Structure 1
Amino acid sequence: MTDVKLLSRLGVAVVLTHSLISPNAIAQSQLNYTTSWIGNSFGFGDGKWMQQDIQAISVGADGTVYTNAPWDESGSEIAAYRAGDKLAVAGSTHGWGATGGDAVAVNHTYLYAAMSIGNQSNALVGTDYPPANQTWYGITRRTLANLATGAPFSGGIGNSANATKNSFVAVETVTTGTDASIRGLAATDTELYVADTYGNRIVVYDAQSMQPLRSWTMNAPSRIAIDTDSTLWIIGGFGTASPSILHYAADGTALAGSPALPADTMPGDIAVTPSGQLLVADNGASQQILVFNRGTGGQWQAGTSIGTRNGIFHTVRGVPDDVRFNGITGIGVDAAGNLYVAQNGEGPRALGSASVGQGAVLESYVYGTRVFNWRLYGLTFVDSAAFDPASPVSVYTGSKRFTLDYNQPVGHEWTYAAFTLDRFDYPDDPAFHQPRGVRGEPMVRRFDGQRFLYTLDPGAHYLNVYRFDSAHGEIAIPSGLLAQNPLPGTWPAAQPSYGEWLWRDSNGNGTVDASEISSNPSTGSTVGNGFWWVDEAGNVWLATPLSGIREMPRQGLDAAGNPVYTYASSKMFAMPAPFTRLARLVYSEATDTMYLSGFTSAIPWDATHWKEAGPVLARYDNWSSGTPNQIYTIALPWNTQSDPQTTTVGVAVAGNYLFVAELYTDRIDVYDARNGSAVGYMTPGASVGKTSGWVDVYLGISAVQRDNGEYVVLVEDDARAKILMYRWTPD
């Protein structure tokens, strides 16, 4: 053994070369740091969080906004907000087969919300659950006085083990996997109107007894609004290329006089103001709220639309601001004349989609003047964050950019600066076709005088490449894709049926053309389930599980400004001792330093820990020389027999320190990157409720050292739609 150094500060001796440093041999202490967060209006220190998606809203007369969505990671599918504050979470729509839904309505007494109840692959049996291989889609009824309490009724079913017992009615029973979600609800004090989209009908229930009263046929109905004369406005043709707005009497009689919509309008929601104006949320390119006034003879006249045309994509593209809407999912007006707008960066969930949107925004304006009232954000989910190397105050997530002001109070350091995903100009963005349909884990790099964004899907199977230009503002333009295996489904049509492939947007149009795809099928499964990394110079590294490490040196930029990568120029490096399987890689081109984590013969990999970073981390200097020098090996926290288990999931390096995220235990372990010694640990502080969700992705942690010596560490927290931010200055 060589290179023994005395760690006088810790009072222990550690062998650095070819040695194993055990964290258990060094007393670790909690560091002196500050916990904050990015991307959510609430930190959870006060027990509140803004939900990650909103698919529908209903506005009470007092300005309370009731929301619904199929999924919120911490169970806030159905919630209530007022005056920029969160009032309540309904609960009982999360887990044990239950999910939220795509519609919500209130009257003076009750909340009615779409939801589904399944049986978790037939694991749940009994009268509370549907028969094997089936799912119930229907409506839960709650009291406005306490959303967590069900309002049971004769014939009501479900949830016998909680406070919402017998307060659910099944509208459709379908084969599991079929999307039969209710897409529209509206209520008076006497009747409840239900858009059974799957069944192509409107069903009317008694609002008190919940007994069915009548129904009529309608093609794929969705949102419903009750007019001041008690007639109904309903969006029909949901999921088709040409949805329309139809007018009905409350008994189902079709009425004439629907407003003429501009070409290419995609109505996402509909509302009627107290004065009788008809509002239509356009989720097409305009991203506006269309206003229609009653004219003579029952005709409707178009008024002045609400919102900047093209919304967040107008002029300086991607910059959020007042009335620059982005994927409107719900609109409503209260009795006092306040407008409420819900958005998720996407619009209403497509049929069959499991999307949770691109981040929730709920905002309010004075209806007549458009003066801003308040706004709430829940912007990130299964999404990590990374710093722009040009500035420690600019932070990217997969589809957002935030700016930081470190002088602001905890939880207020961040400002939402940009939405970088453009579904209108770039519908072929590979992120839309990958698992979850969103960009996820980012790496920001600057080389050749340009800024580039690289992102991973949650499982790190695909590396997406994006470029920027002045004409597109903040939008990240699809530039390339490196895939370890073919994407599921039919997109893109020209991808190989087996093995690796890559795409480079050589013509610069942001579309994946067949002529731009290169395949490398001979590698087959040898790279499968590997981990991507991009160094400062834009070279791409892949830690394969069993076949060593591959570098794809960047071959400059092409005429369109895309980084160029080829399989022919790749370099392979053998898996170094002591590893038998690699899981994470961090490489610095500037210092030629490689950090690897993974599994060894002493603690081998097993499939139950498929996402983990492994129990061992090692540093190698002079990596590219062909004879790298192994400086140290660290035994990371690892105990699969504890409850919760102690395993690692992410690695970040900044300045003189290593930061390792544990998967289940809310803990960040800090090591001295120079010698591998354990320095201490950080866990979520009181400002975020002393808790975090699991770090649920492969690249869920990043770090930067500021000029003043402070380290800022960003960690994914998918539980409550935010990024945790730790601020620590070493002693």
Structure 2
Amino acid sequence: MKHLTLLLACIAAHSALSAPLAYTTSWLGNTWGYGDGKWMQQDIQALRVAADGTVYTNSPWDESGAEIAAYRNGDRLAVAGATHGWGAAGGDAVTSNGAYLYAAMSIGNQNGGLTGADYPPNGYTWFGITRRSTGNIAQGAPFAGGVGNSANASKNSFLIVDTVPAGTDAGIRGLAANDTELFVADQYANRIIVFDAVTMRRKRSFDVSSPGRMALDSDGSLWVITGALTGQPAIAHYAASGALLGGAPVLPAGTVPADLAIAPSGDLYVADIGPGQQILPYRKTATAFQALTPVGTLNGVSHATAGTIEAGRFNFITGMGFDASGNLYAGQNGEGPRALNSASVGSGAVLQAFKGTSRALLWELDGLVFVDGADFDPGAPDTIYTGSKIFTMDWSKTPGKQWKYTGYTVDRFAYPDDPELHIGRDVRGEPMVRRLNGNRPYLYTLDPYSHELYVHRFDAAHGNIAIPSGMFAEGFISGGYPANQPAYGEWMWRDLNGDGRMDDGEYTGNPSTSSTVGNSFIWVDAAGAVWFGTPTSGIRQMPVQSFDRFGNPVYSYAAAKTYAMPAPFTRIGRVLYVAATDTMYVSGFTQNIPYDASRWKEAGPVLARYDNWSGGAPVMTWSIALPWNTASTPPVTTVGVATAGDYLFVAELYTQKVDVFDARTGAAVGVMTPDANVGGTSGYVDVELGISATRRANGEYVVLVEDDARAKILMYRWTP
């Protein structure tokens, strides 16, 4: 009966919040918000530039299905489709000729759930090429022997190149085409296969070690990046027949070629994703190659002032090309081409078009965030951080135009141990920006599901780069990273020598906690104290003890303080401590609505406020039922909690709503949902810390919500 009573109360509270507030919806991190039906894809793994300036892109995954897309003059023309779901995925290469678009992709069978001629046998995956009409890339261009999903426009337009056991990466890494032949870099078999561009019948093949990107020269010869996935990439020159030709340029030491292009001038251009981060042009002479002036700033985005975003500071080019007028196009993703067996989705897509090879930017498209939260810098109210990026706001502009991408905080060369580069994808995605140690900014970030907390510091010498400073882990992390971590129990790391690397001797273990801290929600308050809302063992606080000579915050397990599980909770979902008022907010589950393991990421159905939390006698000021109805379709559950000023903001997981409560009384105030500016929709808030809020000096509240559907952060602006 109690369960039913509280469930009805939750439903009633949800109804009370149904009245919308007077607010506006905006976004940051993507050129388009989806109100016009467009979004910029979240990753670019390869691109092809047609003579008229149409840019075709490809990537294995875009959350909303824009793996393969076409752009021109700063606009999105089309999405290919049929590359997302039902066994289909995009790929790592793309090319075109006058009639067809050819793009790498894969087709699986969802663990045997998809059967028939359209899908590989159970336990296998097809890697190959989808062929589309350049007049309509959403329409397959069928051919004899082609396969493809008979239920959509891609029927009979997929060429199987390799059939491999499921879990094997046989992705095609390079494509090139003219009107008669299609060249396919089959890295799985260490060969280049040549197909008839019209019939798609195999004509010949020749051996090449781990072939990657390719470029066809005007004389019909083929430039190839060899050793693309071996760690020893180089450039080789082949006749169309497969005969190895001499005369490839000698690249500077440290160069890591990622793509090749032939300019209308006939010069060969090489995209370097080594420390140089430039495009290297070479002019063919009768006897050798003459190196020309590189394109772009030396060291790219890492050039001083490090992390500054401006045209010509490249950040890991994944594809480039020229139109017939000699204009240069460059796609970047902050990581470079996908590594073998990697599920990488990049660190944000940037597509730029330049006038010739100058720094004059013709247009730029951005899809910068994925599974990425955002937070305000309390010391710079017009600055917003995501896990790896900095945005500067101009609040006077129209929705979607208020943000400017101004900083990138990752340096892969200076700090190769940064967790961003090793654990999962976008592990820096849920930021908490705090001003500590003389008002210096610190970037604390939580992995999507709150298993580790990462600490980064900033200093004047390194610009916008977030220097790895510390880390908390709930237990041993499998996979070989970080090296030398304690083998059992929770642990923390601090950068004792200031080099930003996780060296042996810099870890502190705490095995006595066993698994009691596992699956905690981790929160950092304004004073830098780290709070663990353990599932069933209460709430633990680890205050900052001091700052070492490098500026790293110092924490101690011995100084930790644990508070008993506060009534009425039996399982904690979220904790949020406001140091200025000694107030603790807790959400979670109770005896009336107990924890359900299928709702492991949710914040819970109950939220309570406790005052005088650390003063020795905490007082529960109020407890309220949050929107919660797991029997509905879709389910109504909560996933994120944020506070600012006099209000609390609660993000629902499946129902695209932010519920607003008065923080002083717990009273329901209203609800905010995506408006027409963002197409009236958003993706799920798919992380445990996916919402943040601030109260601006003018009294306006701004709420930021993770939206992984279309590579952006959703933003609500509300003045009570």
Cα distance, 1:625 vs. partner? 2.1
Asked if residue 522 in structure 1 is aligned to residue 512 in structure 2, the reply is: yes
Alpha-carbon separation, structure 1, partners of 2:29 and 2:667 = 33
Asked if residue 557 in structure 1 is aligned to residue 547 in structure 2, the reply is: yes
Cα distance, 1:521 vs. partner? 1.5
Deviations 1:552-589 (A, max 9, x none): 01111012210011111111111111111111111011
Which residues in structure 2 correspond to 1:704-723 (within 5 Å)? 704-723=694-713
Alpha-carbon separation, structure 1, partners of 2:530 and 2:463 = 26
Alpha-carbon separation, structure 1, partners of 2:123 and 2:199 = 30
- Match of residue 13 from structure 1: none
Which residues in structure 2 correspond to 1:360-439 (within 5 Å)? 360-436=349-425, 438-439=427-428
- Match of residue 344 from structure 2: 355
Match of 1:544 among 510, 529, 534: 534
Aligned partner letter, 2:490: E
Cα distance, 1:75 vs. partner? 0.1
Q: Is the 8 A contact 2:347 2:426 kept in 1?
A: no
Q: Is the 8 A contact 1:355 1:436 kept in 2?
A: yes
- Match of residue 243 from structure 1: 233
Cα distance, 1:431 vs. partner? 2.3
1:231–1:555 distance in 2 versus 1, CA, 3 Å: same
Alpha-carbon separation, structure 2, partners of 1:106 and 1:247 = 21
Cα distance, 1:430 vs. partner? 1.8
Length-normalised TM-score, structure 1: 0.96
Cα distance, 1:391 vs. partner? 2.4
Asked if residue 631 in structure 1 is aligned to residue 617 in structure 2, the reply is: no
Match of 1:313 among 284, 302, 324: 302
Q: Is the 8 A contact 1:235 1:269 kept in 2?
A: yes
- Match of residue 588 from structure 1: 578
- Match of residue 108 from structure 2: 118
Q: Is the 8 A contact 2:331 2:351 kept in 1?
A: yes
Asked if residue 151 in structure 1 is aligned to residue 151 in structure 2, the reply is: no
Deviations 1:60-108 (A, max 9, x none): 1110000000000000000000011111000100011111000000000
- Match of residue 175 from structure 2: 185
Q: Is the 8 A contact 2:372 2:426 kept in 1?
A: no
What secondary structure is seen at the aligned counterpart in 2 of 1:460? coil
Cα distance, 1:241 vs. partner? 2.6
- Match of residue 270 from structure 1: 260
Alpha-carbon separation, structure 2, partners of 1:605 and 1:215 = 59
Cα distance, 1:488 vs. partner? 1.9
Aligned partner letter, 2:178: T
Match of 1:304 among 293, 318, 326: 293
Match of 1:217 among 185, 198, 207: 207
Q: Which runs of 5+ in 1 are unaligned?
A: 1-18
Match of 2:435 among 436, 446, 463: 446
Cα distance, 1:690 vs. partner? 0.5
Cα distance, 1:25 vs. partner? 7.1
Deviations 1:11-43 (A, max 9, x none): xxxxxxxx9996157464100100000000111
Which residues in structure 2 correspond to 1:610-689 (within 5 Å)? 610-689=600-679
- Match of residue 134 from structure 1: 124
Alpha-carbon separation, structure 1, partners of 2:199 and 2:27 = 45
What secondary structure is seen at the aligned counterpart in 1 of 2:554? coil
Alpha-carbon separation, structure 2, partners of 1:340 and 1:663 = 38
Asked if residue 491 in structure 1 is aligned to residue 475 in structure 2, the reply is: no
- Match of residue 8 from structure 1: none
Alpha-carbon separation, structure 1, partners of 2:423 and 2:663 = 35
Q: Is the 8 A contact 2:419 2:427 kept in 1?
A: no
Asked if residue 206 in structure 1 is aligned to residue 196 in structure 2, the reply is: yes
Q: Is the 8 A contact 1:585 1:597 kept in 2?
A: yes
Alpha-carbon separation, structure 1, partners of 2:390 and 2:57 = 26
Alpha-carbon separation, structure 1, partners of 2:597 and 2:149 = 34
Tell which deviates more after alignment, 492-501 or 562-571.
492-501
Cα distance, 1:368 vs. partner? 4.6
Alpha-carbon separation, structure 1, partners of 2:528 and 2:165 = 48
Alpha-carbon separation, structure 1, partners of 2:698 and 2:419 = 39
Deviations 1:150-173 (A, max 9, x none): 111111112111111111111111
Alpha-carbon separation, structure 2, partners of 1:269 and 1:507 = 38
Tell which deviates more after alignment, 176-185 or 126-135.
126-135
- Match of residue 11 from structure 1: none
Runs of 4+ in 1 over 6 A off after TM superposition: none
Which residues in structure 2 correspond to 1:249-268 (within 5 Å)? 249-268=239-258
Q: Is the 8 A contact 1:52 1:380 kept in 2?
A: yes
Aligned partner letter, 1:407: S
Q: Is the 8 A contact 2:68 2:81 kept in 1?
A: yes
Alpha-carbon separation, structure 2, partners of 1:392 and 1:120 = 47
Cα distance, 1:268 vs. partner? 0.3
Alpha-carbon separation, structure 1, partners of 2:117 and 2:21 = 51
1:137–1:27 distance in 2 versus 1, CA, 3 Å: closer
Tell which deviates more after alignment, 70-79 or 360-369.
360-369
- Match of residue 37 from structure 1: 27
Tell which deviates more after alignment, 253-262 or 129-138.
129-138
Tell which deviates more after alignment, 367-376 or 690-699.
367-376
Tell which deviates more after alignment, 489-498 or 206-215.
489-498
- Match of residue 12 from structure 1: none
- Match of residue 535 from structure 1: 525
Which residues in structure 2 correspond to 1:498-513 (within 5 Å)? 498-513=488-503
- Match of residue 447 from structure 2: 457
Aligned partner letter, 1:415: K
- The percentage of counterpart residues that share the same residue type is 63
1:206–1:417 distance in 2 versus 1, CA, 3 Å: same
- Match of residue 46 from structure 2: 56
Which residues in structure 2 correspond to 1:4-83 (within 5 Å)? 23-24=13-14, 26=16, 28-83=18-73
Cα distance, 1:485 vs. partner? 1.4
- Match of residue 566 from structure 2: 576
Deviations 1:250-287 (A, max 9, x none): 01011011001000100000000111100000000000
- Match of residue 7 from structure 1: none
1:235–1:73 distance in 2 versus 1, CA, 3 Å: same
Deviations 1:516-559 (A, max 9, x none): 00111121211111111001110100001111111001111012
What secondary structure is seen at the aligned counterpart in 2 of 1:719? helix
Aligned partner letter, 1:350: A
Aligned partner letter, 2:363: W
Cα distance, 1:417 vs. partner? 1.0
Deviations 1:380-403 (A, max 9, x none): 000010000112210000000001
How many residues in Structure 1 have an aligned counterpart in Structure 2?
Answer: 711
What secondary structure is seen at the aligned counterpart in 2 of 1:679? strand
Tell which deviates more after alignment, 612-621 or 427-436.
427-436
Alpha-carbon separation, structure 1, partners of 2:82 and 2:346 = 22
Alpha-carbon separation, structure 1, partners of 2:622 and 2:641 = 16
Q: Is the 8 A contact 2:371 2:426 kept in 1?
A: no
Q: Is the 8 A contact 1:358 1:438 kept in 2?
A: no
Cα distance, 1:189 vs. partner? 0.9
Aligned partner letter, 2:580: A
Q: Is the 8 A contact 1:233 1:246 kept in 2?
A: yes
- Match of residue 166 from structure 2: 176
- Match of residue 14 from structure 1: none
Match of 2:93 among 91, 98, 103: 103
Q: Is the 8 A contact 2:427 2:448 kept in 1?
A: no
- Match of residue 292 from structure 1: 282
